[in-house]
């Protein structure tokens, strides 16, 4: 008889940096920068050669996005109007790098919750929007720090990295190439955010998540069955970051705004909401599930308004916090980690047989869905 392998989610883990920035603190720093900038360029502004920078506002941020605060690895430098970015000291090559450190912390929690020894994991995927360096892979460093004998590699599908990682891990399990795979998403988004850009300075926060995908035969009893996964990408420039190893010497090279996160927020909103809603409904239909019966939606955490619309289209009514939980208010957009934080923090209360969907979306464009059912 041919052995069949059935991938499940055994457990998740979360690492949250202890420091947090409120909208009030962020806006105070941003407006101090605006004041200094406009004073320093007063003559050029008066002569019409340079536009004056406009102030940001707490009310706008909360109303437009639902974000109230964000965790960061380096609060002091992000808030310093002279710096406005994290300054993370370089570490020696024989020390664990900061991104791996966050990933390891999240991974250890997932392993502990599953009752799994790291030695029994077969593979590590580091699935995140930004890698700290080109190579060696962050995933291999995490694998080494955890003492895992197997293989590891990095993958980047921006905000959809974690769901793409879950499908990849599930496929390894299905194919019999691995029985236990860690999908780790350390997101130090404060490094790619342009904290001087009024349109987007409030969007992101730092965090790390981990998802342990395993064969049902070895998983703990309280696992989540993966009923199906679906991935989609459609090229778009509406969310873009041109930073890369080829532009270090160009005159318009590193340090320019286009080498950081740039987006056309309205366009993203309009184009992504229908794409995601349709994909969730189609995927549920493919699996024979009535989308209205989905017990919970763990959606990508980019914008509260987007999630409200998506949830309404999928469920057929305005979703409450229980049906579509938000972590945006305290975490902001944590890129690929957002839907996993929502799942991690808001899944323990569900009953056996409850079915829900983890869904990510973002740059690429990319969309990933993972439909899960709590084991009975």
Chain residues binding ligand COA by CB under 6 A are: 56-57, 60-61, 64-65, 159, 198-199, 239, 263, 265-266, 268-269, 302-303, 306, 333, 362-363
Task: Enter the tokens of residue 243.
Answer: 């930073």
- 3-class SS shares of the chain: helix, strand, coil, % to 5: 35, 20, 40
Judge residue 208's burial from the number of C-beta atoms within 10 Å of its C-beta, 0-12 exposed, 13-18 middle, 19 or more buried: buried
Residue 98: phi and psi, rounded to 5, are: -65, -40
Nearer to ligand COA, 129 or 180 (CB): 129
Q: Which position's Cβ is nearest ligand COA?
A: 265
Q: How far apart are the first and last CA of the chain?
A: 26
Q: How far is the CB of 364 from ligand COA (least distance, A)?
A: 10
DSSP 219: S
Nearer to ligand COA, 20 or 307 (CB): 307
Please, which residues bridge with residue 211 across strands? 12, 183
Nearer to ligand COA, 143 or 303 (CB): 303
Nearer to ligand COA, 60 or 153 (CB): 60
Residue 265 has a CB neighbour count (10 Å cut-off) of 16
Judge residue 38's burial from the number of C-beta atoms within 10 Å of its C-beta, 0-12 exposed, 13-18 middle, 19 or more buried: middle
Q: How far is the CB of 286 from ligand COA (least distance, A)?
A: 25
Beta strands in the chain (DSSP E): 7-15, 20-22, 69-71, 123-127, 151-155, 180-188, 206-215, 224-233, 239-240, 262-263, 296-299, 355-362, 366-374
DSSP reduced 3-state for 346? coil
Q: Which residue has the tokens 């360029």?
A: 41
Residue 159 bears catalytic tag: yes
Nearer to ligand COA, 105 or 239 (CB): 239
Nearer to ligand COA, 73 or 306 (CB): 306
Q: How far is the CB of 74 from ligand COA (least distance, A)?
A: 21
Task: Give Cα separations from 371 to 166, 223, 231, 326 (angstroms).
Answer: 11, 13, 12, 18
Question: Are 151 and 169 spatial neighbours (Cβ–Cβ below 8 Å)?
Answer: no
Q: Which residues are known to be catalytic?
A: 159
């Amino acid at each position: 008889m041919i052995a069949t392998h059935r991938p499940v989610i055994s457990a998740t883990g979360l690492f949250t940096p202890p420091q947090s920035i409120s909208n009030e603190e962020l806006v105070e720093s941003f407006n101090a920068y605006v004041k200094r900038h406009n004073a320093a360029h007063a003559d050029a502004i008066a002569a019409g050669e340079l536009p004056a920078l406009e102030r940001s506002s707490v009310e706008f941020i909360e109303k437009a996005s639902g974000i109230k605060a964000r965790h960061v690895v380096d609060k002091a430098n992000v808030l310093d109007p002279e710096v406005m970015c994290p300054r993370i000291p370089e570490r020696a090559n024989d020390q664990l790098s900061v991104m791996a450190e966050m990933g390891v912390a999240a991974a250890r929690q997932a392993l502990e919750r599953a009752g799994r020894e790291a030695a029994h994991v077969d593979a590590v995927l580091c699935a995140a929007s930004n890698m700290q360096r080109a190579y060696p892979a962050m995933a291999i460093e995490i694998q080494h720090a955890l003492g895992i004998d197997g293989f590891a590699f990095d993958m980047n599908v921006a905000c959809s990295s974690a769901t793409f990682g879950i499908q990849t891990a599930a496929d390894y399990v299905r194919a019999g190439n691995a029985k236990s795979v860690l999908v780790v998403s350390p997101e130090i988004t404060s490094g790619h955010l342009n904290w001087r850009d009024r349109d987007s300075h409030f969007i992101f926060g730092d965090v790390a998540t981990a998802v342990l995908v395993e064969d049902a035969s070895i998983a703990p009893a309280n696992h989540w069955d993966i009923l199906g996964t679906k991935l989609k990408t459609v090229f778009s420039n509406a969310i873009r970051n041109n930073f890369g190893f080829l532009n270090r010497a160009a005159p318009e090279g590193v340090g320019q705004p286009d080498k950081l996160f740039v987006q056309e927020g309205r366009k993203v909103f309009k184009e992504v909401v229908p794409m995601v809603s349709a994909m969730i409904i189609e995927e549920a239909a493919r699996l024979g599930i009535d989308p209205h019966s989905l017990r919970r939606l763990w959606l990508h955490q980019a914008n509260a308004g987007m999630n409200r619309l998506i949830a309404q289209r999928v469920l057929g009514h305005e979703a409450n916090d229980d049906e579509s939980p938000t972590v945006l208010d305290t975490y902001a957009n944590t890129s690929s980690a957002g839907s996993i934080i929502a799942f991690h923090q808001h899944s323990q209360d569900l009953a056996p047989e409850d079915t829900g969907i983890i869904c990510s979306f973002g740059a690429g464009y990319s969309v990933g869905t993972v439909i899960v059912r709590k084991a009975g």
